[in-house]
């Protein structure tokens, strides 16, 4: 599937995982989950050594057909915990003569996954095609906002097994009669708490009412308190509850540090020093606003970093290309807002840097989860000034630990001189947010180009 063509159905062989290590061919614990051989084959190809905790606990229960409420940390393998049972349900339905589909007629998906953001929907779509590699003729599509309706209508008219959607765009398509959901057997709500935070509760309720009452529902959420718990009671029947971990015991594989800064200039000097470290394989730098993301990406590009901004004000096609550049390692630094915090799954991200703090302490947990994926180690660094003291206290209260205070020699507080005000080069336009004036790729002194190809924003000089 082209990353610029969101809604086209994807054949499972569009993503072919590499050969598995020899160790993964042996009994690794996946065989005990009860999954079909076609799915196990794809898991072995992906090379995963053993099921994660959430997978080991949630998959067998999901395969029984029971409704599930699952709390699990970011990066724990929760996407696979619902994708594998979804694929199993498709295989089982194909063997049932009563569920045979008429040829040439749109029948709608058997599995519907709702996700809060376009990035997360794309991540789930990739997981379906990857793990469904051995499922013959698997058809997967995703419909999200920010892309033309034409491609999405084409996808919905084709035979479908799995549909991944953001609630707002799916409801739009339902209102036109384009989305056929009468054969949905499994509904998955991924990051349900985030969807409610974004105001999707009415959309989700309306979508659920259009689905068959005899269905299985799986909900994944950081919490099931408040409105999320109310929605769970409305959508599920006698659900089983699985809580893998909480904020107090998550991210043990991620080293968390804090650097105090006297000023914004001091903070930027610290950031430059951190990114100069060769140990940084790839880094995600989080800012508080879209404008900050654009401006910081511009500044980092000016000093030679292969960098791009990612935020909700950018056109969807550009966001897709930025993420593709990150996965293909054409970018070393991504400057992002929280729109990306729950949708980026790139195992080579070694560092997360909080340049601007999130408004909610819970988002700190999701941000740092972009590193240390699938049990790997990672480093999360938070840069703060005195005005951030309350937010730091909220974060430490949530995670029930103090962030390690670290001082970099030569970059102590009051040790960095204040510079003259920075101005863009003459004739250059500084980005103003909302996806405008995206920079081009910079050529370092060596003459070797870094970052994305020209169609892609990498934070260098404007023309």
- Render 206-234 in DSSP notation, one character per residue: HHHHTS-SS-EEEEE-S--SHHHHHHHHH
Q: What local confidence, expressed as pLDDT, does residue 142 receive?
A: 93
Q: Do domains 30-243 and 254-405 have the same CATH topology?
A: yes
10 neighbors 2 (Cβ within 8 angstroms): no
Q: Which CATH superfamily is domain 30-243 in?
A: P-loop containing nucleotide triphosphate hydrolases (3.40.50.300)
- Render 303-346 in DSSP notation, one character per residue: TT--EEEE-TTS-HHHHHHHHHHHHTTS-SEEEE-GGGTTT---
54 neighbors 70 (Cβ within 8 angstroms): yes
Q: Can you give the pLDDT of all 463 residues of the chain as single tens digits? A: 322 323 333 333 333 233 333 333 345 688 889 999 999 999 988 888 889 889 999 999 999 999 999 987 666 788 999 999 999 999 999 988 888 876 766 678 999 999 998 888 999 999 999 999 889 999 999 999 878 888 888 888 888 999 999 999 999 999 988 898 999 999 999 999 889 888 899 999 999 999 999 999 999 988 788 888 999 999 999 999 998 865 544 567 789 999 999 999 999 999 999 999 999 999 999 999 999 999 999 999 999 999 999 988 888 788 889 988 998 999 999 999 987 666 677 888 999 999 999 888 878 888 888 887 766 788 999 999 999 999 999 999 888 888 999 888 877 766 555 554 555 544 444 554 444 444 433 333 333 334 433 334 444 333 3
Domain boundaries, the chain: 30-243, 254-405
Side-chain half-sphere exposure of 119, counting CA atoms within 13 A: 25
Question: What kind of architecture, by CATH, is found in domain 254-405?
Answer: 3-Layer(aba) Sandwich (3.40)
DSSP H stretches of helix in 236-309: 264-275, 290-302
- At 306, list the tokens: 């292969």
Per-residue pLDDT tens over the stretch 68-127:
999 876 667 889 999 999 999 999 999 888 888 767 666 789 999 999 988 889 999 999
């Amino acid at each position: 599937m082209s990353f610029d063509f969101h809604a086209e159905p994807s054949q499972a062989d569009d993503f072919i995982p590499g050969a598995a290590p020899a160790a993964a061919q042996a009994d690794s614990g996946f065989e005990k989950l009860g999954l079909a051989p076609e799915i196990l084959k794809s898991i072995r190809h992906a090379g995963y050594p053993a099921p994660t905790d959430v997978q080991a606990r949630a998959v067998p229960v999901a395969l029984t057909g029971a409704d599930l409420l699952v709390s699990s940390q970011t990066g724990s393998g929760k996407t696979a915990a619902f994708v594998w049972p979804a694929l199993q349900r498709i295989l089982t339905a194909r063997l049932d003569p009563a569920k045979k589909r008429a040829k040439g007629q749109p029948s709608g998906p058997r599995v519907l996954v709702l996700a809060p953001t376009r990035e997360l929907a794309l991540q789930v779509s990739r997981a379906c095609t990857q793990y469904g590699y051995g499922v013959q003729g698997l058809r997967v599509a995703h419909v999200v906002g920010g892309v033309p309706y034409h491609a999405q209508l084409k996808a919905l008219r084709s035979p479908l097994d799995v549909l991944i959607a953001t609630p707002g765009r799916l409801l739009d398509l339902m209102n036109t009669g384009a989305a056929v959901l009468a054969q949905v057997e499994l509904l998955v709500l991924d990051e349900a708490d985030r969807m409610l935070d974004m105001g999707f509760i009415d959309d989700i309720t309306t979508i659920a009412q259009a689905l068959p009452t005899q269905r299985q529902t799986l909900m994944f959420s950081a919490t099931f308190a408040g409105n999320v718990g109310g929605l769970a009671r409305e959508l599920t029947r006698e659900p089983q509850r699985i809580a893998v971990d909480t904020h107090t015991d998550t991210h043990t594989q991620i080293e968390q540090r804090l650097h105090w800064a006297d000023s914004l200039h001091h903070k930027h000097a610290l950031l430059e020093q951190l990114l100069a470290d060769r140990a940084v394989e790839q880094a995600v730098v989080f800012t508080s606003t879209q404008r900050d993301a654009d401006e910081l990406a511009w500044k980092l590009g000016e000093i030679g970093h292969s960098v791009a901004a990612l935020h909700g004000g950018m056109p969807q096609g550009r966001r897709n290309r930025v993420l593709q550049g990150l996965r293909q390692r054409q970018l070393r630094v991504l400057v992002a807002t929280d729109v990306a915090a729950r949708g980026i799954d790139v195992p080579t991200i070694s560092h997360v840097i909080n340049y601007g703090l999130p408004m909610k302490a819970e988002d700190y947990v999701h941000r740092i989860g972009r590193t240390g994926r699938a049990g790997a180690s990672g480093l999360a660094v938070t840069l703060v000034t005195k005005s951030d003291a309350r937010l730091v206290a909220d974060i430490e209260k949530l995670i029930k630990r103090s962030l390690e205070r670290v001082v970099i020699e030569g970059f102590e507080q009051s040790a960095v001189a204040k510079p003259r005000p920075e101005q863009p080069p003459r004739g250059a336009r500084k980005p103003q947010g909302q996806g405008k004036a995206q920079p081009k790729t910079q050529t370092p002194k060596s003459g070797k180009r870094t970052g994305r190809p020209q169609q892609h924003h990498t934070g260098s000089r404007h023309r």
